[in-house]
Amino acid sequence: MSFRRGVVRQSKFRHVFAQAWKAEHCLDDVRVSRVTWDGPLCAANPTFIAVVIEAGGGGTFLVLPLAKSGRVDQNTPTVCGHAAPVLDVQWCPHDDNVIASASEDCTVKIWQIPDGGLTSPMSEAVVTLEGHSKRVGILAWHPSALNILLTAGCDNVLCVWDVGTREMVYQLNDAHPDLIYSVSWNREGSVLCTTCKDKALRVIDPRRGTVLKVREKAHEGTRPMRAVFLADGKILTTGFSRMSERQLALWDTRDLSEPVVTQEMDTSNGVLLPFYDPDTNMVYLCGKGDCTIRYYEVTDESPYVHFLSLYSSKEPQRGAGFLSKRGVDVNKCEIARFYKLHERKVEPISMTVPRKSDLFQGDLYPDTAGLEPALLAEDWIAGQDAPPILVSLSGGYTAPPSKCGTLRGRPKMLSQTNTSPTSTTAPPNPVAVEMESEGLELQLYISQLIVSFYLVILSSEKLRLVRYKGENIYFLFFLWWKRASILLSNLIVSCLFMLLSLNVNFYA
C-alpha cells in the first residue's frame, strides 16, 4: 500500500512545510568529513552545533554557537583530540555544554565546551572511555538518567558507561554476531533496540544483559538498517527489500512476528536516517546522498504511518543534524529544524506549521524534555526507570540552574549533586588574596584621610560649601587659604568623593 496515494486523516501537521534558510544565515566553508560511515556527522542543541570535518593527522570536529552564520574561517578553533577520524558526536541531553565523540581510534571522549564557544583548539578531553577493541561509531545518551552513555563499536560489543565515575557498568559481548548498525533507547531508558548486519531487529535489556525479543530479517536487503523507539513503545525501522527498494516498517514490541505496516519507497542506495520527535509523533527520514527529506506522522489509527510531505532541494546531503525541541522558534510555529550538511556548507531547514495567530500555539508544543535528569546514574543502575522530566515551551524555554553535578567547573562529570560531601572546592588563588588585602588597606587609608580632612574643616570658623554643576560632588575650601592651597584641596576632595560615588571595587 502506498501512503502517498492514501487518504491522510485530518491533522494539525498535515500542512507542515519545510523551508531552507537564506544564504546569509548558512555556514559556509565548512569542510564536512568524507569518512565512510553512515552516520549523521552533525549534532545540534539550543546552544551549539557540532559538525565532523575533514582534517589531516587525526579526528576533528567543529563546534560553533548556534547563532553563528556566514563564512567559517579556516583558523577557527576545533576539537581535535582524537588520533583517528571521528565517526559520531552527540550532545548530552542534560547539559548543553557537554558533548561525546566516538572515533576510529577505538575511544570515546567527553568534552566540556565553554560558554560562548571555543577560543582556542581543544585537544584534552575531560573524560576518555576505553573499552572497545575496534572503531566506535555509535553513541546514545540515556534519555533520563544523568551520565549514562551507551556506545557500540565495530567489535560487535555494546558498552554502557557511567561517565561520572569513568566506569563501564555493563557490557554485552555476545548479543550481536556481526556489525551493529544502530541503537535507540526507549522513552524511559529501560530497554533499547538495535539493528545488525545479520538483518535482525533486537530488543535488549542492558542491565540484565539479555535479548528480550528478536525479529530475524526485519528487512531482507543487504544494505544497512536503522531503528528508533517511539514514545508508545513501538519501533520504526528503515531498510531495504530483497529488490533493493528502500522500506519503512512499524513494529509492535509485543509481537515482532509481523510488522504493523510496511511501505516501499524508491530504489536509491542511500541509507535512510530516521529522526523522531516524540512531542509531535512525527518521523523525518533523511537519506545520505539524497536531495529530499520525507516526513510522516505516526498514530494509533490505520494506516498508522501517514505520509505528510516531501522536501526537495538541488544539493545532496552528506549528513544532517536534528535540533532538540528546546531550540525551535515557537513564535514562528517552527516544530523542527534540520542542519543539512553539504560538501562545504551547513544549511538550516525549518519545519513550520502555517498559523495566522501570533499567540503561543499550545497544541503544537506539548511539554518537552528539559535539561533536568529524572534519575542519577546510580539510581538507574540500581534498577529504577523514569521518563524525562518535561518543561513548557510557552514564552520560550530558559534553562533553570542545574541541581546535578556536570562537567562545568569540575575535572569530571559527577553522579552526585553539588552539595555532596565528596565535592571539593578550588584552593584560593594567592595572587587574588594579595590583591584583596592591598585593596582593603587602600580603602582604610582613604577612610582615614577623609576623617582627618573633615576634622580640619570642622576646626575652622570660615567654611563655604559649593555645589559643582549639579553633581553630587562637593568642593570644600577655606576662604583665607592661598589660591594654590585651595586648588590642591579641591582636587584631593573631588577625587576621593568621585571614587566613593563610583563605588570602585579596588580588589576586583
pLDDT of residue 405: 54
Average pLDDT for residues 380-387, to the nearest whole number?
97
| CB-based contact 415:165 (threshold 8 Å) | yes
pLDDT greater than 80 at residue 422: no
Q: What is the pLDDT of residues 187-218, one digit of tens each?
A: 999 999 999 999 999 999 999 999 999 999 99
Identify the residue with better confidence: 489 or 45: 45
Q: What is the pLDDT of residues 440-493, one digit of tens each?
A: 555 555 555 554 554 444 444 343 444 333 333 333 333 333 444 555 665 565
Average pLDDT for residues 98-102, to the nearest whole number?
98
Average pLDDT for residues 147-167, to the nearest whole number?
97
Quickly tell me which residue has 512476528 as its cell.
257
DSSP annotation of 463: -
Pairing of strands 226-229, 148-153: unpaired
Lowest mean pLDDT among 54-58, 122-126, 342-346: 54-58
| CB-based contact 495:473 (threshold 8 Å) | no
pLDDT of residue 466: 40
pLDDT of residue 56: 80
Average pLDDT for residues 500-505, to the nearest whole number?
45
pLDDT greater than 60 at residue 417: no
Q: If we measure between CA atoms, which residue out of 202, 186, 233, 247 comes closest to residue 1? A: 247
pLDDT of residue 469: 37
DSSP annotation of 113: P
Lowest mean pLDDT among 43-57, 126-140, 455-469: 455-469
Within 8 A by CB and 6+ apart from 175, the residues are 158, 194, 202, 204, 209, 211
pLDDT of residue 432: 43
> Quick one: what percent of the chain has pLDDT higher than 90?
71
pLDDT of residue 271: 94
pLDDT greater than 50 at residue 503: no
pLDDT of residue 302: 86
CA angle 393, 417, 66 (to 5 degrees): 40
Lowest mean pLDDT among 49-53, 157-161, 330-334: 330-334
Q: How confident is the model at residue 359 (pLDDT cuts 50, 70, 90)?
A: confident
Helix (H, G, I), strand (E, B), or coil: what is residue 454? Answer: helix
Q: If we measure between CA atoms, which residue out of 214, 219, 254 comes closest to residue 233? A: 254
pLDDT greater than 70 at residue 310: yes
Compute and round to an integer the Cα radius of gyration of the chain.
Answer: 30
Mean pLDDT of the chain: 84
Q: What's the CATH number of domain 26-230+325-347, 2.40.10.10, 2.130.10.10, 3.30.420.40, 3.60.20.10?
A: 2.130.10.10
pLDDT of residue 444: 53
For residues 49 and 68, what is the distance between their CA atoms, to the nearest angstrom?
9
Residue-wise DSSP of 427-452: PPPHHHHHHHHHHHHHHHHHHHHHHH
| CB-based contact 214:256 (threshold 8 Å) | yes
pLDDT of residue 57: 76
Residue-wise DSSP of 181-198: EEEEE-TTSS-EEEEETT
Pairing of strands 368-369, 390-391: antiparallel
pLDDT of residue 358: 78
Amino acid at 388: P
pLDDT greater than 90 at residue 143: yes
pLDDT of residue 320: 97
Taking the model in full, what pTM does it have? 0.78
pLDDT of residue 398: 60
Average pLDDT for residues 130-138, to the nearest whole number?
97
For residues 173 and 190, what is the distance between their CA atoms, to the nearest angstrom?
19
Helix (H, G, I), strand (E, B), or coil: what is residue 466? Answer: strand
pLDDT of residue 401: 55
Torsion of CA 74, 77, 83, 87, to 10 degrees: -80
pLDDT of residue 395: 74
pLDDT of residue 482: 44
DSSP annotation of 58: S
Q: What is the pLDDT of residues 75-92, one digit of tens each?
A: 999 999 999 999 999 999
CATH 2.130.10.10 in the chain, residues? 26-230+325-347
